[in-house]
Amino acid sequence: MKDATPQTIRLADYAPYPFTLDAVALTFRLAPKATRVVAEIRMTPRQPGAALALDGEHLRLISAAIDGQSLSAEDYILTDTGLTIHPAALPDAAFTLATEVEIAPEGNTALQGLYMSRGMYCTQCEAQGFRRITFYPDRPDVMARFTVRVEADLPVLLSNGNPTASGPGWAEWVDPWPKPAYLFALVAGDLVAHSGNFTTMSGRKVALNIWVRRGDEDRCGFALGALQRAMKWDEDAYGREYDLDIFNIVAVDDFNMGAMENKGLNIFNAKLVLASPDTTTDGEYERIEGVIAHEYFHNWTGNRITCRDWFQLCLKEGLTVFRDQQFTSDMRSGPVKRIEDVLTLRARQFREDQGPLAHAVRPESYVEINNFYTATVYEKGAEVIGMLRRLVGDAGYRRALDLYFDRHDGQAATIEDWLAVFADATGRDLGQFKRWYSDAGTPRLRVEEHWQDGTYTLEFTQVTPPTPGQPEKAPRVIPIAVGLLSPNGDEVVPTQVLEMTEARQRFSFSGLAVRPVPSLLRGFSAPVVLERDATAAERAFLLAHDTDPFNRWEAGRSLAREALCAMVAGAAPEPEHIDAVGRLIRDGAADPAFRALCLRLPGEEEIATALFERGTVPDPDAIHAARGRLAAALAQKHEAVLSEIHDAMAVPGPYAPDAGPAGKRALRLAALALLSRIDGGRRAQALFDTAPNMTETLGALACLIEAGQADAALAGFRARWSADRLVMDKWFMVQLAHADPANAPALAARLASDPAFEWKNPNRFRALMGGFAANHAGFHHPSGAGYSFYADWLIKLDPVNPQMAARMSTAFETWPRYDAARQALAQAALARIEALPGLSRDMGEMVARLAKANR
Ligand code: PHE
Ligand code: ZN
């Protein structure tokens, strides 16, 4: 009976829950195979005559009683998905429902609900995991105060809120803040804390703990510091103070996602907590700081104000991503962070928007909500807020946010509520702006220029291609930040924001002495694809002169992308590009992190996207070869200066993960990546042999792999790190991501049969399969071996961990771009998955959506 006909859930069907929950008391008697959960829920009916429908899955009901009276079999209906109590069995006024259930955390490989990770108990309840713990209205608009008692013969017993009492083998926690069930958490294990504290703006002292396995406690300092910085920043930037006496973070080895914002008890994938120079790269340090901040920021944007239903997921996620991006930007370099965020947005969200999985920031229906924790909801959701902020200005944004916190604290809110605070605080009509939430697809913004008698005119046209279920779209509000440069490089019109609202619209600038060069969409002011015919010379000019750092980088990037697209078709390297890169790397005044970003070539997938966008079917092997040729040409032409940079960017002294030294290492490795194309890996080997930190070790290793000289290095790396799970994940990932594509499917298969491939561990699975899928020409191997290998593993993982399997299936989302032979092979792999009996709801929804080409 399970999942026989998966139901579609629709936003339009929302109805409030007919009961109010006044208090929830939970008792856990933990045991790996048979945990008992006793729930006492005090509730008040709000609609006379309504049945009491409770969600529940994988639960063994032991007993159920109302106000102390056991229910008899006629009083309720028990199914695979819940317990419904007949209205006749319910009192008219407030009552207490008491249930006891048995669950088996040890066998829970889906890692949702209560599960075990190497001897420790932990929970994951978002989005619908709480129903695997007890019978409950598992929906975000049902908020209640929780009291929790945990009983287990383990030294550390944690739950949400503040600790109130404990003794040997038990502990009690009270969370004074009403919350939805998805924010519930419990942890029990033999853990040790790295502790500190934080004094809030009103002078309250909060105890902070990072809980980890014994032996990991010396890798928690960075995470604790990041938490303290995040707490301070939220007070300074948003006026938001923490609201409990204690804040706990727990690192868990088996975790499907990055981390989870459970009230007062954040649970993290260990890879986003543990950090040491030996084991952690600069990029990972930055990510750890960002995710620690993200989960902390959810305390206000997500927890104090939560979502009415899961269609409103972007209400908390888009806003919290936006906030963590602002935070990282303040902690490190604003321009560098913006470039990194746009790279991610394009690589993940534009890709999603362009394929069969395209959906709105606020979707209107879903089968499995776990499939909607996407780049569109998160990253595009954040971009939409960035546009709002640009449109209403910094002061307007702050007023709107103050009003949001004021008006909706303690509530489960909607996107309508969110837009209303902006309208009310700033007087703006946001009716048209709302299309950013309802319409899928990335708008294409075409621009044409006119110059006459000192007047310069920009004429924009916007078109959003069709997406599944949305053939036609009305024009959106697009904030276009523009500056104008004179041909000598001076800025003649500083940045101003043009507000485009029509399908076609003109904006003029008069009184100009000479025809200007436009710098369009500064700071990437809207998540659109800008289409402008520009010469290589003009792009090189902007790369040299633009005052907007994002657009400087963008000019260089588009120059490289254009050159690469031409090279795929057989052209020689573009001299303008080669020279422009030479000027840029000699510019010692520019931030090394920025130069590193400019030096790195667009990836193969990005080139494939660019070709597809101009109507060419991308050939993965030709793209791989062209990119290699360009890297070699750059290295040949600039060997001397690249070599100098490589040596000069060595950072002496003890390691620090800060933006300054990290930027130098990034530039050093970007130079090395080019040099390794012509020196047979000589410099990479030297760096690998002496590198004092993981950033340079791994960077050098990647170069050695690309140079085909990594056998000894890979063996040595493995020998040194075989006991460290997080480092071994990198070992799997790096060799597949950088492998020779011709051999990549065979290598992937070999690594998948390595005894160290613990495939039920999400990080390990993601490392191998994600590393392989990142090898563009390897995954899209013309034989189809990549597709079938990958599909085999999705089939194997699905019954064990459907959420993970479904997430990983997105590797297939670009199949409609490729040639007919590849399309047929990819479709056959998808069809093989779809035909599987007993496919999970998660995977069933994904393959059904994936199978449909978009155009
Ligand atoms: N809410 C988490 C975050 O954004 C992500 C998450 C979703 C984690 C679902 C686990 C399960 O930080
Ligand atoms: Zn989040």
Q: 838-853: per-residue pLDDT in tens? A: 999 999 999 999 999 7
Instruction: Please indicate whether residue 448 is annotated as part of the active site.
Output: no
User: What is the whole-number distance in angstroms between the Cα of residue 763 and the centre of ligand 1?
Assistant: 15
Question: With 0-12 CB in 10 A as exposed, 13-18 as middle and 19+ as buried, what is 15?
Answer: exposed
Q: How far is CA 636 from CA 495, 559, 588, 674, in A?
A: 38, 19, 21, 9
Instruction: Please say if the pLDDT value at position 20 is more than 80.
Output: yes
Beta bridge partners of 419: none
Do the Cβ atoms of 642 and 674 come closer than 8 Å? yes
CA 844 and chain centroid, separation: 23
By percentage, how much of the chain surpasses pLDDT 90?
99
Q: How far apart are CA 855 and CA 601, in angstroms?
A: 29
Choose which residue among 131, 257, 292, 763 to substitute to test ligand 1 binding: the one with the highest number of ligand atoms within 8 A of its C-beta.
257
Q: How far apart are CA 493 and CA 722, in angstroms?
A: 58
User: What is the whole-number distance in angstroms between the Cα of residue 126 and the centre of ligand 1?
Assistant: 7
Atom 11 of ligand 1: nearest residue by CA position: 126
Strand 113-117 to strand 69-70: parallel, antiparallel, or no bridges (unpaired)? unpaired
Catalytic residue, from 151, 284, 295, 696: name it. Answer: 295
- Average pLDDT for the chain: 98
Closest CA to 387 of 315, 478, 301, 473: 478
- Supply the pLDDT for residue 4: 56
Segment 244-251 mean pLDDT:
99
Segment 555-576 mean pLDDT:
98
pLDDT in tens, 447-475: 999 999 999 999 999 999 999 999 999 99
Residues within 6 Å of ligand 1 by CB: 124, 126-127, 257, 259-261, 294-295, 317, 373
Do the Cβ atoms of 530 and 491 come closer than 8 Å? no
Atom 1 of ligand 1: nearest residue by CA position: 260
pLDDT-derived band at 6, boundaries 50, 70, 90? confident
Residue 78's SS3 state is strand
Residue 177 amino acid letter: W
- Supply the pLDDT for residue 3: 45
**Quick one: which ligand is closest to 256's CA?**
1
Q: How many residues does the chain have?
A: 855
Atom 5 of ligand 1: nearest residue by CA position: 260
Atom 8 of ligand 1: nearest residue by CA position: 260
Nearest ligand 1 atom, CA 317: 4
Nearest ligand 1 atom, CA 256: 10
pLDDT in tens, 517-545: 999 999 999 999 999 999 999 999 999 99
Q: How far is CA 14 from CA 365, 413, 484, in A?
A: 11, 13, 49
Instruction: Please say if the pLDDT value at position 478 is more than 70.
Output: yes
Q: Does residue 127 have a cis peptide bond before it, meaning omega lies within 30 degrees of 0?
A: yes
Nearest ligand 1 atom, CA 129: 11
User: What is the whole-number distance in angstroms between the Cα of residue 713 and the centre of ligand 1?
Assistant: 36
Segment 142-163 mean pLDDT:
98
Residue 412's SS3 state is strand
pLDDT-derived band at 5, boundaries 50, 70, 90? confident
Query: What is the DSSP secondary structure assignment for residue 304, as one 8-state letter?
Result: T
- Supply the pLDDT for residue 1: 38
User: What is the whole-number distance in angstroms between the Cα of residue 330 and the centre of ligand 1?
Assistant: 24
Q: How far is CA 163 from CA 35, 147, 149, 207, in A?
A: 22, 10, 10, 11
- Supply the pLDDT for residue 47: 96
pLDDT-derived band at 781, boundaries 50, 70, 90? very high
Residue whose tokens read 């949001």: 404
pLDDT in tens, 366-393: 999 999 999 999 999 999 999 999 999 9
- Supply the pLDDT for residue 854: 63
Choose which residue among 254, 261, 369 to substitute to test ligand 1 binding: the one with the highest number of ligand atoms within 8 A of its C-beta.
261
Instruction: Please say if the pLDDT value at position 175 is more than 60.
Output: yes
Alpha helices in 781-853 (DSSP H): 785-797, 802-808, 820-834, 841-851
Q: Sign of the CA dihedral 596, 607, 291, 229?
A: positive
Nearest ligand 1 atom, CA 112: 11
pLDDT in tens, 311-364: 999 999 999 999 999 999 999 999 999 999 999 999 999 999 999 999 999 999
User: What is the whole-number distance in angstroms between the Cα of residue 812 and the centre of ligand 2?
Assistant: 25
pLDDT in tens, 199-225: 999 999 999 999 999 999 999 999 999
